[in-house]
Structure 1
């Protein structure tokens, strides 16, 4: 573990004395194993870079010199798709290692309304247990309750209980949606520390990581050095009363929020993941193992500063080095591993920066498009007491308090009023969405109804779904930590890279579109694991006449 932690923790400016303390528990590397490219890998490493859009990938791919540069030598699919409409963190992560779209995973959004929830707050977070007294969707108890389908790790365990499943991430929803229900270790950053959700014992690798991160946060962080290719992007801009664009991730001692929204978070996640790989000897047993890693800092940086500024350039440069150190460690331990790297969704830059860069039509959604306010107006007009409409993440629900014989009138009035807003592309009813089918067409050719259908769950989806027009930001009023977002049905939010790499494979690039649900059948084929009933298809990773799907 010594070489890895020295590389990763140094890259996030851990003081030398703290590095030495972490490295005291280092172990010698495992002996190398003889492998051939067609031998089933011993370890699957599935990485999700939160908000790593295809646009970001295209912008920086020629700047990568380390970890990403290695992946670019493998099978490169620059036009992967989170093909559904709900392009958010939780639904996106639910597709990556299940092979199923959100309409089947049950994860329709980060949050939805459950009017039967046994608490006053009816909004439900995707990785919580809303049945626990005293909780709400912001102050919740993390749980794996809502994911309806198994992950690849669970499929592997069902086929061979000796397979180990590990999940580490910067967000609870990333760790749970990629790890699944049956995991050997699952850890995530909760804003203060790396924790799990089931009070499990803390393994040594996680404890070492906790101590290293605590020492790191206790020290101030000097501004990061700016690579030459980032300097032109270091342009300040005022958004929401704050200046962004030229930040360098300087951090005061003890500032947890600044740590979360910086490259340091990813460094800590990969360091803990590496420690678990080494301590558990993943990839060294008779059965294949899997570790999923959720790199969340890109999303925090994208939301806080927008993906078009100098901060994101620094984040890309640092993540490239972090990946390189991580892969170098696995190489030194002689592990035969297969990597897939993708993203849970894309992202769109801050409206104000877009307007300065040739996009004058960019705009922010009007505050008047408020489901609560529109519902109040409808209730007054139709003389219906109480809340008439409930809203979450674009889904609109008619309140259960509305009499059954008045629901049709409420829905008709809601569609009329919402559709009248110039920034709205369409308002779809649940009947329209349910009637749509997934076509045998590339995902970029799907209609809005078909994209919405891929995210539709009759138990959780709303009565209406609002879709804003392209280039309309869903943030009405930007502020600290939230100037840019995602979540639209448009391709800048749907399109993500999908990269496969393994030592010895002959690389190639395929520019045609694929889906993230294709990842599981592709990985399953590499370990000779039969799978069926998935939404995705196996991708042939042999660049020649051979076929890795057979």
Structure 2
């Protein structure tokens, strides 16, 4: 009896999850985005991670995260991660959209890229001027600097749109891979002054690596996936192939690419002494290799397996570097969208309805048919691909537009691979999604409403049926993709971690727009609820709360 009393007394003196003091406010907030890191991929490999991802899984794990909108592409997805807003509010409805008031190039294209300023003339050899001009809302960094000008925001990514959409309008340093010139990282054209020494050193390492890439051996856990899958024209994917010298495209689709991005982020954090100034700083790291691997080889082969091993190691090196700084920091990790494997492999594995789109341009075909029916010349319908936003051409008389839209909807719905077609008028009547209905149960119309913007979206929006890959010919470079409103493209993991955090797993669905208010609460940054779509997620595993600290 006495022993039980002593044990009880000693236990009462120990801190509990409910009474433990909250961690110090972080001096550095780190956002890691893994492009095309689906919840399915995370679930498949989470038992094999041994380094960085394993450590992050010891924090707050939300395996049922959602990019809740329908336009599951890189730019819209990244625009949600640090804004707290869905694409309908950020204005980033797709990677590309059409502005019929803009005419450019020899083919009179109306295309607008999400991370460009089309009003400016690009330098020779550059396709566009990279800019956050189209992002309509502030990011975490923008909000933080508005109230604390001494805060620094650094954004480094493998894609310009990732760096821009997470970094926002007031980054102190922003660097991204430039695929149009010699291998290396570049910044916005309006940035003046000398570049940090870390950038020149990183570009020198990249050039050397691309020129003479090191061998990347197949990890033992990937050997069972090293199986060739024929895709036509004598080509196949599925077996890990050594990277060739001076192959910048192959470099992007390898674990070496993420390693280069992380190395630059680590070097900039050290050179700029992030987290060691008078205010909280933000470091953004966009890891893009998983997306290039998924597009080039699919998500279920040896290539993606090796990428997951490399990704885990790269995040481990990044966290170890943050540990060495010796300041309070916190990390959030998520993804811009999920992904889907190539139908040739899925068919073999038993997904009977997996298929490629039968027509590379169903929108153009339908438009021509409508033009013949109505006696209209020129391209009646315009689009950016076999699905997504469809626009009625400006040359269509105003009094015929409604008739064209109605005919287009009926004829596109008659296409055997089309699941749904919504008109702009229909989507405008759909109420914006609320927490009343979990995002995993939203009907298609609400998913499309979450990424609909009346000024930028099409007159119609088209959804292909599940498991239909919108790449007609897989021998041209890309074999698989994403962008659908289906859950394999919407579901992504969301992880939060800081040193000393008590881990937990939250199985219910949450949204990527919840990341901003969650991080903002931990650093004491006020974000009015009316300005965002997300909500704060409590990261305290006990009776306390990190929301409203």
Q: Same fold (TM over 0.5)?
A: yes
Q: Which residue pairs with 2:239 in the alignment?
A: 246
Could you list the per-position Cα deviations for residues 90-142 of structure 1 after superposition, in whole angstroms to 9, with x for gaps in the alignment?
00000000000000100000000000114222011111122235799992221
Tell me whether 1:272 sits opposite 2:270 in the alignment.
no
CA contact (8 A) 2:24 2:328 kept: no
Tell me whether 1:421 sits opposite 2:415 in the alignment.
yes
Matched residue SS, 2:474: coil
CA contact (8 A) 1:468 1:488 kept: yes
1:323 deviation in Å? 0.8
Tell me whether 1:145 sits opposite 2:133 in the alignment.
yes
Matched residue SS, 2:339: coil
Distance in 2 (alpha carbons) for counterparts of 1:480 and 1:49: 25
Q: Which residue pairs with 1:409 in the alignment?
A: 403
1:221 deviation in Å? 3.4
Instruction: Give the alignment partner of residue 95 of structure 1, picking from 60, 72, 80.
Output: 80
| Root-mean-square deviation (Å) | 1.7
Tell me whether 1:521 sits opposite 2:517 in the alignment.
yes
Instruction: Give the alignment partner of residue 324 of structure 2, picking from 308, 332, 357.
Output: 332
Q: Which residue pairs with 2:5 in the alignment?
A: none
CA contact (8 A) 1:121 1:136 kept: no
Tell me whether 1:194 sits opposite 2:173 in the alignment.
no
Distance in 2 (alpha carbons) for counterparts of 1:81 and 1:294: 18
1:260 deviation in Å? 1.2
CA contact (8 A) 1:50 1:344 kept: yes
1:366 deviation in Å? 1.3
TM-score with structure 1 setting the length: 0.91
1:416 deviation in Å? 1.3
CA contact (8 A) 2:99 2:110 kept: yes
Please list, as runs of the form range in 1=range in 2, the aligned pairs for 1:499-510 lying within 5 A after superposition.
Answer: 499-510=495-506
Please list, as runs of the form range in 1=range in 2, the aligned pairs for 1:211-290 lying within 5 A after superposition.
Answer: 211-222=204-215, 224-241=216-233, 242-248=235-241, 250-290=242-282
Q: Which residue pairs with 1:18 in the alignment?
A: none
Out of 133-142 and 74-83, give the one that drifted further.
Answer: 133-142
CA contact (8 A) 2:121 2:128 kept: no
Q: Which residue pairs with 1:69 in the alignment?
A: 54
Distance in 2 (alpha carbons) for counterparts of 1:373 and 1:544: 59
CA contact (8 A) 2:155 2:284 kept: yes
C-alpha distance 138-300 of structure 1, shift in aligned 2 (>3 A): farther
Distance in 1 (alpha carbons) for counterparts of 2:210 and 2:437: 49
1:83 deviation in Å? 0.2
Distance in 2 (alpha carbons) for counterparts of 1:265 and 1:89: 17
CA contact (8 A) 2:121 2:129 kept: no
Distance in 2 (alpha carbons) for counterparts of 1:134 and 1:216: 28
Tell me whether 1:475 sits opposite 2:463 in the alignment.
no
Could you list the per-position Cα deviations for residues 394-447 of structure 1 after superposition, in whole angstroms to 9, with x for gaps in the alignment?
100001110011111111111111010121111100111111121421101101
Out of 121-130 and 305-314, give the one that drifted further.
Answer: 121-130
Instruction: Give the alignment partner of residue 435 of structure 1, picking from 429, 437, 442.
Output: 429
1:474 deviation in Å? 1.2
1:547 deviation in Å? 0.5
1:335 deviation in Å? 2.7
Could you list the per-position Cα deviations for residues 61-80 of structure 1 after superposition, in whole angstroms to 9, with x for gaps in the alignment?
00000000000100000000
1:251 deviation in Å? 1.9
Q: Which residue pairs with 2:16 in the alignment?
A: none
1:360 deviation in Å? 1.6
1:145 deviation in Å? 1.2
Distance in 2 (alpha carbons) for counterparts of 1:529 and 1:381: 58
Instruction: Give the alignment partner of residue 320 of structure 1, picking from 297, 309, 312.
Output: 312
1:369 deviation in Å? 5.0
Instruction: Give the alignment partner of residue 392 of structure 2, picking from 384, 388, 398.
Output: 398
1:472 deviation in Å? 1.0
1:330 deviation in Å? 1.2
Distance in 2 (alpha carbons) for counterparts of 1:308 and 1:251: 19
Instruction: Give the alignment partner of residue 171 of structure 1, picking from 156, 159, 177.
Output: 159
Q: Which residue pairs with 1:16 in the alignment?
A: none
Matched residue SS, 2:404: helix
C-alpha distance 161-415 of structure 1, shift in aligned 2 (>3 A): same
C-alpha distance 369-218 of structure 1, shift in aligned 2 (>3 A): closer
Could you list the per-position Cα deviations for residues 267-308 of structure 1 after superposition, in whole angstroms to 9, with x for gaps in the alignment?
000000001100101011121000111100000000000001
1:150 deviation in Å? 0.5
1:255 deviation in Å? 1.3
CA contact (8 A) 1:308 1:349 kept: yes
Distance in 1 (alpha carbons) for counterparts of 2:257 and 2:521: 33
Matched residue SS, 2:131: coil
Instruction: Give the alignment partner of residue 543 of structure 1, picking from 522, 541, 547.
Output: 541
Distance in 1 (alpha carbons) for counterparts of 2:89 and 2:124: 25
Out of 385-394 and 90-99, give the one that drifted further.
Answer: 385-394
Tell me whether 1:129 sits opposite 2:117 in the alignment.
yes
Out of 483-492 and 467-476, give the one that drifted further.
Answer: 467-476
Q: Which residue pairs with 2:491 in the alignment?
A: 495
Distance in 2 (alpha carbons) for counterparts of 1:538 and 1:333: 28
Q: Which residue pairs with 1:24 in the alignment?
A: none
Could you list the per-position Cα deviations for residues 470-521 of structure 1 after superposition, in whole angstroms to 9, with x for gaps in the alignment?
1111112212431000000000000000000000110000111000000000
Could you list the per-position Cα deviations for residues 443-481 of structure 1 after superposition, in whole angstroms to 9, with x for gaps in the alignment?
011011100000010100000000011111111221243
| Structure 2: gaps (5+ residues) | 1-19
Number of residues paired by the alignment? Answer: 514
Out of 474-483 and 127-136, give the one that drifted further.
Answer: 127-136
Distance in 2 (alpha carbons) for counterparts of 1:481 and 1:288: 42
